[in-house]
Amino acid sequence: MKFGKSFFNIFCAGAALTILAGCSTHGNAGGGSSPDKAVGIAMDTVFDVTVYGDEPGALDILEAAEELDTLVLSRYADSLISSYDSSSDASAVISGYDIDLTGIIEKCDEINAESDGAFDIRLGALSDLWNIDTVAKNEAEFVLPSEEEIKTALSDRSVYDLGSVGKGVFLDLAYEMLRENEASGAVISAGGSVLTYGEKNDGTDFRVAIASPFKEKDGLYGVIDLKGTYFISTSGTYERMAEYEGVVYHHILDPATGYPAWIPEDIAARKNVAGQEAFPVSVTVIAGSGLLSDALSTACFVMGVNEGMQLAGKYGAEVIYILDDGTCIYSDGLLKTEGETVVFGLRDE
């Protein structure tokens, strides 16, 4: 996969909804004041990288994303996860950095246990049955699975799928590249996952957008203002979906029922929704690692507000829920300012 800095011009408008910043494409190979920028596609997603400081280059980080996906994460390639055997350790070297796949899987299994199974990386067969990713790319027609097909796919735990944490794992790698090369700051967007690192040249806050789940895809719900290093991930019903007979079938699957979480069939099959009138359509998590923010945004979405808030608290993470009735519920560590644009911030900043 080749990446080019001129590619940024094509995706500047869309990327600005994840990282609100100017669309300058000036590099800083000589250490000037302009940040080094690059945009490319990896993991079927637009990646947008801005680095302040000489090293690593933005293009180096993008190339690491493609290498990580191909050699470690993608189950559709000759990768470590596609042939993973839990009886032995699995690791790879990406751009000179060790990637411990066994450790990644163990962390995912820990979150699975802490979330009472709401987060599960062994749902590859179920994900293939729903086929939402392919449908969302207009590469296939949506076919609603039967209850028997769902039951059969749900019982197949043999196919690992790291799609729910892959971008977070990449951001953890990017963080190590930035830290060891003493970059002064960076902001990296990988679809619904973002890393803010260090500080910008002008000292202003990083501003990370939360897309609106109620408007067209380029609508804006609000922003998060941050200083320093954070990992932010959003999971929502609007990201990858198919609509069938008036119901939106999205890609976030509930391991307990086999259906996309919080659609009518899933709600009917749940035992913990008595009295609820509103359900999640978007969950944003701010956490201390990319893997954790990615995994928690999925788990908290599936669990719902009360249990999800408790899970996020166990990991010292902050969470923002947007419900289908327009309600916004957020954790105690956040401040929310109403105005022309909704702005969230951390209380301790």
Query: Which token pair is 346?
Result: 């951390």
Q: How confident is the model at residue 215 (pLDDT cuts 50, 70, 90)?
A: low
Instruction: Please state whether the predicted TM-score (pTM) of the whole model is above 0.75.
Output: yes
Proportion of the chain above pLDDT 70, given as a percent: 89
DSSP 338-349: -SSSEEEEETT-
The strand pair at 280-287 and 318-323 is best described as antiparallel
CA atoms within 13 Å, Cβ hemisphere of 163 = 21
Residue found under tokens 């059969």: 152
CA angle 345, 346, 349 (to 5 degrees): 110
In the numeric block, the tokens 């977070």 are attached to 168
Q: Are 185 and 197 in contact (CB under 8 A)?
A: yes
Sequence-distant (≥ 6) Cβ neighbours of residue 180 within 8 angstroms: none
- Give residue 274's pLDDT: 80
Using the 8-state DSSP alphabet, how is residue 144 labeled?
P
Separation of alpha carbons 230 and 333, rounded Å: 14
Q: Which pLDDT score is estimated for 268?
A: 94
| pLDDT computed for residue 218 by the predictor | 60
Q: What is the pLDDT of residue 271?
A: 85
In the chain, alpha helices (H): 8-15, 58-68, 101-114, 124-130, 132-136, 147-155, 166-180, 264-269, 290-303, 305-314
